[in-house]
Amino acid sequence: MKDQSKVTRRRVLGSMAAGIGLISMPAVLRAQQMKLIGASAVPQTDFIAQSLDVFAEQVKKLTAGQIEIATHHAGSLGGERDHVEGLLQGSIHFATPGASIIAGWYKPAEVWTYPYLFKDVAHKDRVMTSLMGEFGDEVAAQAKLRPVAAIPRMPRTLSSSRLVKTPADLKGFKIRVPETTMWKRTFERFGASPTPMPWPEVFQALKSGIIDGQENPMALTYNGGIFDVNKNLALTEHMMQDNVIIMSEALFQKVTPEQRKAIVQASRNMEDDLRPKVIADDKRILELVKAKNIAINEVDKDAFRATLKGMDTEFAHVKKWVDRIATIA
């Protein structure tokens, strides 16, 4: 028997795509109005969803209503990988995946989970803005996808059942990591025993002692109830992975030059709007974490960085971008 949820989703996307004939219409009609679809996998209250909404508002404003993007959140149109596939099929027009998810179509995008890639949040934001055009051109040429905007997220930190200050403290420590090779190798180099595991399983695994810790942006750790079982938070800031707003290269080339400029400007406007809000929210979350009497400590970042020597050659497909990012002050 077919999976009814998948059948329903295909029908929904199919009916939506059928109503978007404007994409294939002559340029004169296309310049009048396009009704497009944007998708996120998170609740509307999340900053990823809010970023897509702000972007959609800006696109409508800057195109004088020529392009309207109806946004759909909370995974109502599938998960992030489904969304990217939808871009290539034309059933979705703007998606919001984690930047490294694009690696499924353009392998060097795995660079966005490279450890200690950025000096700090401000540097990460400068890099994302500076490289979006250059990176987007290469992704478009090889994968027929075009990232246009960076959706800001804060650094990943390590919650655990004991104090962690140096890589030596992680010896034999079972740390949940996302199910990717680079994440696993990073924590192997740190000295831990990385345990790939889907996020929904993490809380119970911590509670039962299957794992000793996990790493995520502090807000997700807090909102996921992790501090009910982990009483230590190490400010490792070992990765900073933004999500992206991405579209198909076919659509990017189909819109008029003026609309293309509007999409790019809407991207920059969204980034300027959301970045300070995300930073402010992280400070708010930190106070909530403190109120739960969680032990919070800095770590020896130089010691953690030292364990990564040669990792850029181990993952040679990302080296070009690691070197390029190092040139941005």
- Model pLDDT, residue 200: 87
What pLDDT band is residue 4 in, cutting at 50, 70 and 90?
very low
CB 146 within 8 A of CB 248: yes
Percent of the chain with pLDDT over 90: 88
The distance from CA 56 to its chain's CA centroid, rounded to whole angstroms, is 18
Q: Do 217 and 174 sit in the same domain of this protein?
A: yes
Say how many domains are in the chain.
2
pLDDT for res 11: 45
Pairing of strands 156-160, 213-217: antiparallel
Do 99 and 227 belong together in one domain? no
Both 106 and 194 in one domain: the answer is no
CATH number of the domain to which 137 belongs: 3.40.190.170
Specify whether 36 is located in the same domain as 102: yes
CA distance 220 to 156: 9
- Checking if the pLDDT of 50 tops 60, the result is yes
Residue 28 and residue 120 in one domain:
yes
pLDDT in tens, 159-217: 999 999 999 999 999 999 998 899 999 999 999 999 999 888 999 999 999 999 999 99
Burial class, 310, CB count within 10 angstroms (exposed 0-12 / middle 13-18 / buried 19+)? exposed
Residues 87, 24, single domain; the answer is yes
Same domain, 197 and 116: no
Provide the 10 A C-beta neighbour count for residue 123.
15
Task: Please give the backbone phi and psi of residue 232, each rounded to the nearest 5 degrees, phi first.
Answer: -125, 140
Residue 191 to residue 189: CA distance in whole angstroms: 5
Same-domain status, 62 and 105: yes
Do 38 and 82 fall within a single domain?
yes
* Per-residue confidence (pLDDT) for residue 31, from 0 to 100: 56
246-281 confidence digits (pLDDT tens): 999 999 999 999 999 999 999 999 999 999 999 999
Show the domain range for 216: 156-239+283-326
Please give the average per-residue pLDDT across 269-295, as a whole number.
Answer: 97
pLDDT averaged over the chain? 92
pLDDT exceeds cutoff 80 at 30: no
**Are 10 and 145 members of one domain?**
yes
Same domain, 94 and 59: yes
pLDDT in tens, 90-120: 999 999 999 999 999 999 999 999 999 999 9
Query: Which tens digits make up the pLDDT trace of 120-162?
Result: 999 999 999 999 999 999 999 999 999 999 999 999 999 999 9
Q: How far apart are CA 299 and CA 85, in angstroms?
A: 40
Query: Do 182 and 136 share a structural domain?
Result: no
